[in-house]
Structure 1
Amino acid sequence: MTDASKDFKFTLKVMIDKKKEKVLFAESDCQFVDVLLSFLTLPLGRIIKALNEHYVNAPIIGSLTNLYRSLAGIDNADFVTDDAKEILLNPRSPFEAEYGMLKLSITDSQPTKYLRCACGNSSHTVSIYYDQVKCQKCPSSYVVKIDLPIKESKVCEGVFTANRSSFIISDDLQIFPSVTGICHIVSLLGITNMDEAEAFDVKIGFNQIMNLLMGSFVSQTPLSYFLLNRTILPLGLEQTSVIPDEFQEKVGAEKMVLKVFIQRSKSKVLYALAEDDFVEFLFTFFVIPLGGVEHLLEGKTCIKAIDNLQRSVADLIGDRYFNSPVMKSKLMKPNLVHGSISEHHLFPLSQEGMNPNKHEKFKFSSLAFPKGQGRYLEGPIAYMVTDDLTVNPVCIHSAISFLREKNIPMSDVKEIEVQVGLKEALSILRASLTSTSALTDALLNSMPIKQPKTEA
């Protein structure tokens, strides 16, 4: 992001009920709404990273914050390459070009880096992974970065939305075209008394956008949260076992097995012993765009403001107010970038192709992963995953120390065996967004449970 972009400020016209200390709604142009909709395009890992870099004490987002810290702390040797770990910590987005077109973006654009053999052979294979570069005429393993011609991104008036369009934004981030009309808007939002409302012009810059992003996760009324310092409202976690119809065929797929240790007296998961397949599944949460999470959970993440952004795209804004017919579908179901879906990624998501530039001079590698293994973690290795998704390599001492720190006697611990398939995976994903007891909330009462076999 350029300094000029970071210094830019939007002017937002805000209607506030001063008596109730509540934002009723705001009116803005397409450029500010584009920034709001860009939240849906950001991978979860990119969001956590941006918040961590901006705030001295970054907000806690469910169990994702602990999971991200665990990922950062896992030894590089546990990954197939250092790049594999970096992909998870700072994942790319299919919308990198659009970030450069926004009037103000919370993240820097990350163009794809392509690699080739260091020799002068013009027919060599180009890849995004250093260990997939293949040259038929040169045995050298030394690779260099190449710069392919990429269309320069220029700031646009409408990136996701149509040029010159204007919108009404509710306190909980429902977005309506201004043409909807004030009477209809007031009715839709349940505003009973406009006589107490006062209008203000509010300047919105980079810091305010970051506050709004944070508020979207920790408050049901993000505009009041960051404009009026309203107290954070609790976010409830509504558990559901419903699998979207389009995912039903995936339910019977292969499942991962966990050994889960439960505190009997509190019916609470203490920790699970898991192999690298389950831990990699957890880490791949970070490559999923927020809109992809909304798609997987059918707009029911239990994060009201983000659910409302997705609902706005699907139902409220209207097709003619997007800058193209394709953009609406891309926001509702964003793809993952090429090479980010591992063999342990249980979710039915799609990834972008390898060759966006169709550059004829090079042959692009279609291999989807470093070392061609289809995975991030090297394995095999066992991990201990606590209820709040803190992950560490397991050893007997660490398990005993954990119980001693919690002052939990072994007599109060029960071991069960559970299986994780698509249904359970969706429950864990949902719980990770809002709960610091993700395994208990997602699994304890919904998983098929199988008692471990005892030896004779």
Structure 2
Amino acid sequence: MAKNSEEPKFSLRLIVDEERNKVVLAEACRDFVDVLFSLLTLPMGTIVRLLENHRNSEPITVGCFNNLYKSVVDMGSDSFETEACKQMLLYPMSVRDVQSKRLKVNINPTESIKCFKCPSYCELYSNFNTSRCRCGNLMSKEIELEKKEQVAGWSQSDANGVFVSGRCSFILTDDLKVAVKSTELVLEKLKSVGCADVNKLGERLLVIGLEEVLTLLEYIFSSNAPLTDTFLNKQSPQGVTKICKSLSPCLEKKGEEAEPGKVVTLKAIVRKQDDIEILFVECGEEFVELLFSFLVVPLESVWEISGSSISLGCIGNLCRSFKELTANEGTELSNSICTLPSFYSFQMQLPGITTQQPPVYYRYRLYDNQIRYGLTTNGNRTPNYRKDRIVRADLMDAKSPGSDKSTQCYGFLKKETKFTVLDDLTITSMNSCSTISLLKKLQSHADDLEVKEISISNADALNLLRASLVTSSALSTAFWSLFAEKVKEETDLGDSVSKKVKEEET
């Protein structure tokens, strides 16, 4: 990524144990803490894309997410309902994008929401210029959106940051625990790390910008001391590909649920071994959409909805600090529920995730001599012209192929499509791959394999999300217990039959 001498920067003061070349504490301004917390609000697909662009030669691997993202890149547009579907997954949007525009250093600048219409059909609109109207034309003509003077929930006051408020300074530990700075807390931290003798400590004042923030993003996944590794050691981070064979269930069961979780059935191709290893699964588009939905969930929400029990770098410490500080400062962003923009409605969605309602737009005539129109979300807006009237505009879902003007469509992939998903979550359309070639690639003998049918519930989906972040063998890690339960059921049934036969013989 090219460096810009005019890019915004801020200072960071490091308190360093010179003998061990290790950061003890860091003193930071509110701007830096806002940027640090903004890393948690990035969708996982955005994180993968930023890290791959940051180190083209050796990008950091985050579990199976790199494979998931590459699967979207490699998948043909004909597998998706619309071209916009693929773009929405490659460049996932966040409900926090508006807030992030106020960051001093924004590592993921995004454009504001736009509206487009068909040149020949004036009553139908879309937020994407790749959408097609019912007449078949691209909705390529941009329509002016009325800008709000102020975004609800925050003001431009100097006392209000993006994620934390007030003009206070903060202290950070090397493992990214963040707290409001005070002498008492500094003394407590120094004692806890065995650095009570301040004469042995040095100070370093750094000026950091975009490059350093991206490097820090790499280390929060792979290091327990990201400040030391980023600013002192400056070594290449290692990818996150832990091998983890046991994940405890993380979905709390709450009596009778109003809506039972959706269950999807897969055919798993496994080796005939005591330790179950899933080579790949064959599935429909519903399961693949579940996997693709992982890419649009922000990092903080991945940690939250998967049970807050992921042990990975310093993500847990940073997330806990984020929740504590935003809650204490009373900001609206402390809500732990994951909310996605209205475009992201999947056929199968993780529990704990909600989707915003699509915005309602109203058309009005612009104030000039030409007959031109703009859109507003204010249905009570006063018309510019006496004879003009505010008319509700039909907003087409970007996932709609254009045959109708559906305001909300579910599903990114074309229906009745079959896929193969490898253990590391590499996804391929079954139309574009040969089973024989796949078995050769996996160096598998037909006699060593068997096909088993498994059903995936909400709890299993959450385990899969967790496994995707911390291991390179997500399917085997998340679903091994399903095979164990099935084997136990078959064993218990066999024992029961044997017992009954013996009783009849006697």
Counterpart contact for 2:285–2:413, Cα < 8 Å: yes
Matching residue of 1:274: 283
Q: Distance in 1 between matches of 2:446 and 2:121?
A: 65
Could you say if the C-alpha distance between residues 398 and 449 of structure 1 is closer, same or farther in structure 2, counting changes exceeding 3 Å?
farther
Alignment of 1:17-416 (within 5 A): 17-56=17-56, 57-118=58-119, 124-128=123-127, 141=137, 143=139, 144-151=141-148, 158-179=161-182, 181-186=185-190, 190-195=192-197, 196-229=200-233, 237=244, 239-244=247-252, 249=257, 252-265=260-273, 267-315=276-324, 317=325, 319-320=327-328, 322=329, 324-329=330-335, 332-355=336-359, 358-360=377-379, 361=390, 363-365=392-394, 370-371=399-400, 372=406, 373-394=409-430, 398-416=434-452
Could you say if the C-alpha distance between residues 51 and 2 of structure 1 is closer, same or farther in structure 2, counting changes exceeding 3 Å?
closer
Counterpart contact for 1:126–1:363, Cα < 8 Å: no
Could you say if the C-alpha distance between residues 256 and 26 of structure 1 is closer, same or farther in structure 2, counting changes exceeding 3 Å?
same
Which of 338-347 and 380-389 deviates more? 338-347
Taking only the aligned residue pairs, the percentage that are identical comes to 26
SS of residue in 2 equivalent to 1:347: coil
The alpha carbon displacement at 1:416 in A equals 1.2
The alpha carbon displacement at 1:160 in A equals 1.1
Deviations 1:163-216 (CA, angstroms, capped at 9, x unpaired): 3121111112111111362123345xx312243432211221110000001111
Which of 368-377 and 224-233 deviates more? 224-233
Cα RMSD (Å):
3.2
Could you say if the C-alpha distance between residues 443 and 11 of structure 1 is closer, same or farther in structure 2, counting changes exceeding 3 Å?
same
Deviations 1:108-163 (CA, angstroms, capped at 9, x unpaired): 12311212343595xx344325698989xxx7856322121224798967111113
Alignment of 1:435-446 (within 5 A): 435-446=471-482
Counterpart contact for 2:282–2:420, Cα < 8 Å: yes
Q: TM-score, normalised by structure 1?
A: 0.86
Counterpart of 1:147, as a letter, is E
Q: Distance in 2 between matches of 1:410 and 1:247?
A: 44
Could you say if the C-alpha distance between residues 350 and 273 of structure 1 is closer, same or farther in structure 2, counting changes exceeding 3 Å?
same
Q: Distance in 2 between matches of 1:409 and 1:251?
A: 43
Deviations 1:338-393 (CA, angstroms, capped at 9, x unpaired): 12121222333112233386233452546655214411001312111111001112
Counterpart of 2:341, as a letter, is V
Matching residue of 2:386: none
Q: Distance in 2 between matches of 1:33 and 1:444?
A: 40
Could you say if the C-alpha distance between residues 80 and 318 of structure 1 is closer, same or farther in structure 2, counting changes exceeding 3 Å?
closer
SS of residue in 1 equivalent to 2:355: coil
Matching residue of 1:428: 464
Counterpart contact for 2:83–2:130, Cα < 8 Å: no
Matching residue of 1:454: none
Q: Distance in 1 between matches of 2:271 and 2:322?
A: 43
Counterpart of 1:150, as a letter, is K
**Structure having the higher Rg:** 2
Counterpart contact for 1:27–1:167, Cα < 8 Å: yes
Counterpart contact for 1:100–1:155, Cα < 8 Å: no
Deviations 1:269-325 (CA, angstroms, capped at 9, x unpaired): 11111111111110111111122212212322322422212111223x2644x3x53
Deviations 1:396-423 (CA, angstroms, capped at 9, x unpaired): 9733223323332222212211111111
Counterpart contact for 1:243–1:423, Cα < 8 Å: yes
Q: Distance in 2 between matches of 1:243 and 1:405?
A: 36
Which of 442-451 and 65-74 deviates more? 442-451
Q: Distance in 2 between matches of 1:425 and 1:142?
A: 37
The alpha carbon displacement at 1:395 in A equals 6.0
Counterpart of 2:51, as a letter, is L
Could you say if the C-alpha distance between residues 209 and 364 of structure 1 is closer, same or farther in structure 2, counting changes exceeding 3 Å?
farther
Counterpart contact for 2:125–2:396, Cα < 8 Å: no
Counterpart contact for 1:269–1:440, Cα < 8 Å: yes
Counterpart contact for 1:114–1:128, Cα < 8 Å: yes
The alpha carbon displacement at 1:336 in A equals 0.6
Counterpart of 2:86, as a letter, is K
Counterpart of 2:81, as a letter, is V
SS of residue in 2 equivalent to 1:408: coil
Q: Distance in 2 between matches of 1:297 and 1:285?
A: 11
Q: Distance in 2 between matches of 1:150 and 1:291?
A: 29
Could you say if the C-alpha distance between residues 152 and 386 of structure 1 is closer, same or farther in structure 2, counting changes exceeding 3 Å?
farther
Counterpart of 2:126, as a letter, is S
Matching residue of 2:373: none
Counterpart contact for 1:340–1:369, Cα < 8 Å: no
Could you say if the C-alpha distance between residues 367 and 186 of structure 1 is closer, same or farther in structure 2, counting changes exceeding 3 Å?
farther
SS of residue in 2 equivalent to 1:370: coil
Which of 195-204 and 423-432 deviates more? 195-204
